Structure 1
Amino acid sequence: MYLKARVMANLKTMILNNNDKLNDSEKKIIQFVVNNPESCSKLSLSKLAKKLYVSESAIFRLCKKLGLSGYSELKFDLHELASSENRAIRAHSDFAHDLLKATADVVKYFHSLNLKNLYQAFDNASMVYLFSTGWEQQLIAQYISHELFMVGLHTTILPSAVDELKAASRNAKKGDVLFIISFSGDSKIINEEIAKLKLRTDKFVLVSLTNMKQNKLASLTKYNMYFPTVVFWKDLKITKRLPLLQPIV
């Protein structure tokens, strides 16, 4: 159990922490085995030494410098490293399938919507305000702004700050559209401000764009649209959730 926890913590970190202890020959050995963990984990000490044209004692000394008890522990670490990379590769390979499914789901969802009244609201608006709750949501705001610009609508992208909502409410004209783009739709601060905004003024036609689940923001707006997210593995280490959108006009 200790070994597995340490490996996942991980072998590459141990190498970096002890890199200054290694000579050039040892660095070449460790670079090879880390780049080929699956095949090296299946080799005996003598076979690996023969493959790398080094002595068995050289590999054993390398293990000690890394803080390992011996070659058997290195083999175990390499096996765990190979297994973790294979799991990440399998997860990564599912991205295309998940993206296709999400695309089909969002197309089906948008086809089910009756957007006639929302389109009419766009026609009546002198300005469409786009408020995002984070940098990823701001990318969506920029995308929507571009799409609306292509059909002749004026838009203003608001920075992610509550004060910007207050400023927009002072400058807006009756009938203007306010898009609120939020991943969860459950930000207490944003939702409280939207509730206050509805009490202060009836200028805005409120539209929310959130992830596909029930949320407070959706209940506060006249129109709500959902988008799915797809898990994306980058460099097999970092996961992100990418929003999937279709043109709305």
Structure 2
Amino acid sequence: MNYIFIDEAHFMESLKTIILKNNDKLNDSEKKIIQFVVSNPQTCSKLSLSKLAKKLYVSESAIFRLCKKLGLSGYSELKFNLDELARNQSENLKVSYNFAQELKKANNDVEKFFSTLSLTTLYQSIDKTNTVYIYSTGWQQELIAQYLAHELFVIGIHAIVLPAAFDELVQAHHYAKKGDILFVISFNGDGIILNDEISKLKLSSNKLVLVSLTNMRQNKLASIAHYNLYFPVVSFMVESDMKKVAFTPAYYLIDLFINDYLVWHHRGKE
């Protein structure tokens, strides 16, 4: 039997009790929904029912049924509980939060995640490609794109960083050659317009190998791409919003990627 595990130090007693008491009523899909919302209470407490449904790729009725199974009057009561949960978490974290430890943990998570990947076919594609294209959204992601391009250049791979304009992305497949690679760097991978364009590009052309770099393991962009490289981010301070975060793990991920490619290349392209 699958249970939802909740850290007693961080979760509000009433919500914890509600979830544990009704755990047996929830199917696997509903358990995934509740795991996400209790892991991201501050974000979810600010979303409307329709926006949360779109974010999780489920129907509004699925979330409403979940609320009923938990014995809540509806989505509004769930939002109220999540808002209280977010405040309690913030108060607890203000006392115990250690940026250096969190950053170290994030980098360890990147290393563990990267060790699970099998990228031989991607490395083979890199060896055969004429050009690597890199597209990013947001100024922090653009800095990461520039770093990736530089690291590729150092090992002899030509990379072009596309301007952060959709027209440039749309045009990419027109002048790209078969086997070229497109890296897309997006913070959460859930940009509707971006993903629509990527989907169209994938459908209209079998030229490009798509590689996503995102903050979330499960998102629309990752599902579209042929390969997904995941990096967490770490808040500089507890009270900061998601814009005030350290992207160090993304750079660490790129370093691991470049080194692993070189190791594979040195071993004779096994």
Give, as a single letter, the amino acid of the residue that structure 1 aligns with 2:216: M
Higher-Rg member (1/2): 1
Pick the aligned partner of 2:235 from 225, 231, 238.
231
2:225 corresponds to 1:182: no
Q: Tell me the SS of whatever aligns to 1:233.
A: coil
Q: Tell me what 1:221 maps to.
A: 225
2:176 corresponds to 1:207: no
**Matches of 1:107 and 1:117 in 2, distance apart?**
20
Q: Deviations over 1:127-159 (max 9, x none)?
A: 000000111111110111111111100000011
Unpaired runs of 5+ residues, structure 2, are 1-90, 259-270
**Matches of 2:170 and 2:159 in 1, distance apart?**
17
Alpha-carbon deviation of 1:89? 7.6
Contact kept in structure 2, 1:211 and 1:228, CA below 8 Å: yes
**Matches of 2:106 and 2:240 in 1, distance apart?**
22
**Matches of 1:218 and 1:178 in 2, distance apart?**
13
Alignment of 1:1-249 (within 5 A): 94-233=98-237, 240-243=244-247, 244-245=249-250, 246=252, 247=255, 248-249=257-258
- Structure 1 runs (4+) greater than 2 angstroms displaced: 86-91, 236-239
Alpha-carbon deviation of 1:202? 1.1
Unpaired runs of 5+ residues, structure 1, are 1-85
**Aligned residue pairs, count:** 162
Give, as a single letter, the amino acid of the residue that structure 2 aligns with 1:144: L
Counting strand residues as a fraction of each chain, which structure ranks higher? 1
Q: Tell me the SS of whatever aligns to 2:228.
A: strand
Pair 237,220 (structure 1): closer, same or farther in 2 beyond 3 Å: closer
**Matches of 1:136 and 1:124 in 2, distance apart?**
30
Contact kept in structure 1, 2:189 and 2:216, CA below 8 Å: no
**Matches of 1:222 and 1:89 in 2, distance apart?**
40
Contact kept in structure 2, 1:132 and 1:141, CA below 8 Å: yes
Contact kept in structure 2, 1:88 and 1:237, CA below 8 Å: no
Alpha-carbon deviation of 1:201? 1.2
- TM-score, structure 1 as length reference: 0.60
